[in-house]
Structure 1
Amino acid sequence: MEKSVIINICRGIKGGECRFALSVEDGFSNRIEETIVATGWPEFLKEQFGDNISRHKIFSVNAGACPNGCSRPHIADMGLIRVCVPIIDHDGCTTCGECVDHCPDDAMEIIDRKVVINRDKCLVCGFCTKTCPEDVISCSSSGWRVVVGGRLGRHPKLGAELPGVYNDAEALDLIFKGLKLWMENYEVGKRFGQTIDEVGHDKLLQD
């Protein structure tokens, strides 16, 4: 297993101190590993190359507890970014402006004495839920943004983001499907992202 996959998680997921980190279930990184083992990927790679497994043949999953990207999810085969979709209880909002002042993406503004979230700018980091002194901003849903196909090397490319927000089980299922697609369409020398680009990202979203 140790030579077939690299799982890189940020300190927020590990339980370390980070003021930006959103809550992640304990043991989630173990569930990533269990999902990869369930695909048969370690055995598949062993059958293909024996002990001659170089770095670019190894499947990588990077997961971060916020959009800051400390674990570099955008350059992994599959990257997970923890999110909180904010919603405002306007009945309790005093329009103090704390959320507006502290939003790292300038996604909040006061219009006609009402705080408005610009969904096009919002990275669903949930930081506003921590800065509101009235506790009237909460997460309408929590989960993961998922990016696929990132890589460095001769032809570097940032991963492409799949549409939507996924719960833990759905994110793990996407990892499972991604690896299965790679194995089914495997070509020596071709990276995971190249294969998924050719097969089509929509295949990951099919039941």
Structure 2
Amino acid sequence: MLILVIGLVVFFCLHSVRLVAPHWRETIMQQHGAMRWKMRFGMITLLSTAFIVMGYLQMRVEPVWLWFPPVWTRHLAGLLVLVALFFAGSALVPNTTMKKKIGYPMLIAVKIWAFAHLISNGSLADVMVFGSFLVWSIVSFAVYRRRDRKAGVIRDFESGVQYDLAAFAFAMVSWFAIAFYLHQAIIGVSPLV
């Protein structure tokens, strides 16, 4: 459990820098260069993610069950993950409608992904991982949206259907890769069962 907690704390502290200290982040990027910041950010993110995965897999060996979700929640989770992947694609592809209207589609993706996994899994490890991601994404989205309203941010770029279709294609390809191979290979559980 300690490895999981360390991974989660490091991951969320790192990903909350922009949330709690945006000016400090910008100052460090100007002093040391954006590339150096991104490399350090990426390395620490990979390390913390590895801790989260290792800790999660260790806790699954002898799980502490809080509840036993019904089978239909797995099917609902599969559909919700597809929707989450569309929002993730909308964040990665430039000029999508979701990016223009919402501003932070990746945080919506994290919310939906975390919620989907919370309703379909009932162990303590699941609640720790997916519950913390859900809370973090809700708080982050609220803070960023409030900041944007206060600053009068207007997203006036030209969005188009071709960008939304690219996000949808990303979602479909990713979903099939995850559902039919990656989830089983990394987590050891097939979401299709």
Give the TM-score range, shorter chain: under 0.3
| Larger fraction in helix | 2
The structure carrying a bigger strand percent of its residues is 1
Q: TM-score, normalising length from structure 1? A: 0.23
Q: Which has the higher contact order (CA 8 A, sep 6+)?
A: 2
Please give the TM-score of this superposition, normalised by the length of structure 2. Answer: 0.25
